[in-house]
Chains A and B, each alone.
Chain A
């Protein structure tokens, strides 16, 4: 049984008098310890899928089986419990995290909600989560607004890891980072995956990131999956028109 099995997922939005399909009959699976990238241009529906899968918004149709349970039927209490196992990291950590909260509090909050740990246990857990994302545990007392963008994204990852998730949705989570910071975060995510067997749903518009980070890829266009397969194979030899356009548009270093 796959960790996540999405089938027939659809979401439409009202725009004026018409309904616009943002996600149209999308199906995919993710196994434990696997990374699936969803890639496509702006407006292709990839971020809507991130929000549907984490049930931040409700689908119009389709099923989302996570660890064998259909998320659509879950009552609020069961949904809260499930959210510990299915986390999301957004593009902009300064918008996602309270800028005035300390690093320690940002990571402690999910521990309070999702674990029965005592205050002392939680404090040592915060320290070990900071170490897991390669940050100095002394950073726990610093407010979010005082640390760098790369450090903030590490804190967002530590917070996501606090409730021991089996799946993390990464919604353009490395897109706003400097290139050298991005390379470090991608390495960090891989190492965490080896250590914890967490799976990633990696939402990105960047095929370079897909090639570096994903096992499989699904290419979206106009809310539909138009192509999918092994990441390295699809990126080196795309079949769909949009896949070819994405590969052609990717910046390349001139050779020879």
Chain B
């Protein structure tokens, strides 16, 4: 597999009250084209910082060390919104409450595909259908508050893939959903990523959920990469004590 993005001794820090607080330090990680990579960790582990760095969405005051390169894109890194689709935890916060669903998705299509508004709306309907929402015509006319949390997250996914990105980043995209809806959204992400040949970066605090989807798992703790490997190896032969602790903390439904 070719390498899509490469982090080398990569670090991110913020100056706070003249003290430097590293959010991420010395991370060496390759994101391979076409793979499903999960980054797992707890609050403050730096997992969202990696996602924001890849998407070029870090705040301007962030200080970067080491390097982040895109080997296939020597002239210009992939752009957030078009080449990189982003799905956040809270779809209520990602969707404009006074825009209809159809307009929200059509706007992303128009900005990224240089088509007219009519064609963009038509594409929005097709995207609503692709994320398996019933009755695309009705959904397109609806506002975010009229949909359930799971439906809103499907809309956010439709908007994220509207620019036909090569990389989809899902940052705790299912954490606010109940178990049944979570399983449906994970299945949807898997099928879209596989159908379009997208690379997936799946960020989660849930190691079992990550294992159900990812080819590889990277474990972060306090801004450092503690372990990275094939899902099977990480789950069955974890080397790091912290990975073992996360596996022990998983509450299984079976004995």
- Of B180, B205, B232, B245, the residue contacting A254 (CB under 8 A) is B232
From known contacts A179-B42, A251-B212, infer whether A207 and B246 are also in contact, taking CB-CB under 8 Å: no
Q: Judge whether A180 and B178 touch: CB under 8 Å.
A: no
Q: Judge whether B148 and A179 touch: CB under 8 Å.
A: no
Q: Judge whether A180 and B231 touch: CB under 8 Å.
A: no
- Minimum C-beta distance from A20 to chain B (A): 14
- Docked Cα-Cα span, A122 to B75, in Å, equals 67
Total contacting residues, chain B, CB less than 8 A? 34
- Docked Cα-Cα span, A155 to B240, in Å, equals 31
Q: Judge whether B255 and A249 touch: CB under 8 Å.
A: no
- Docked Cα-Cα span, A148 to B42, in Å, equals 12
Question: Cβ of B206 < 8 Å from any Cβ of A?
Answer: yes
- Docked Cα-Cα span, A73 to B38, in Å, equals 54
B181 — which chain A residues lie within 8 A by C-beta? 41-42
Q: Judge whether A179 and B178 touch: CB under 8 Å.
A: no
| Interface membership of chain A positions 196-208, coded 1 if the CB is closer than 8 angstroms to chain B and 0 otherwise | 0000000001111
- Of A183, A205, A211, A253, the residue contacting B208 (CB under 8 A) is A253
- A residues 171-188 in Cβ contact with B at 8 Å: 178-183
- Docked Cα-Cα span, A228 to B255, in Å, equals 19
From known contacts A206-B179, A246-B179, A254-B212, infer whether A178 and B252 are also in contact, taking CB-CB under 8 Å: no
A249 — which chain B residues lie within 8 A by C-beta? 179-180, 182-183
Question: Cβ of A250 < 8 Å from any Cβ of B?
Answer: yes
- Of B149, B206, B231, B255, the residue contacting A236 (CB under 8 A) is B255
Size class of the A contact interface (CB-based, 8 Å): 20 to 34
- Docked Cα-Cα span, A248 to B179, in Å, equals 9
Q: Judge whether B209 and A251 touch: CB under 8 Å.
A: yes
- Minimum C-beta distance from B152 to chain A (A): 12
Q: A179-B249, A180-B246, A253-B211 are in contact. List 18 more A-B contacts (CB 8 A).
A: A41-B178, A41-B181, A42-B150, A178-B42, A178-B43, A179-B207, A180-B249, A182-B249, A207-B179, A208-B250, A208-B251, A211-B252, A246-B180, A249-B180, A251-B208, A251-B212, A252-B253, A254-B211
Q: Which residues of A contact B (CB under 8 A)?
A: 41-43, 148-149, 178-183, 205-209, 211-212, 232, 235-236, 245-254, 256
Offer 15 A-B interface pairs, CB within 8 angstroms, sorted by A.
A42-B150, A42-B181, A178-B42, A179-B246, A181-B42, A183-B249, A208-B252, A209-B251, A249-B179, A250-B253, A251-B183, A252-B254, A253-B207, A253-B247, A254-B212
Q: Which residues of B contact A (CB under 8 A)?
A: 42-43, 148-150, 177-183, 205-209, 211-212, 231-232, 235-236, 245-255
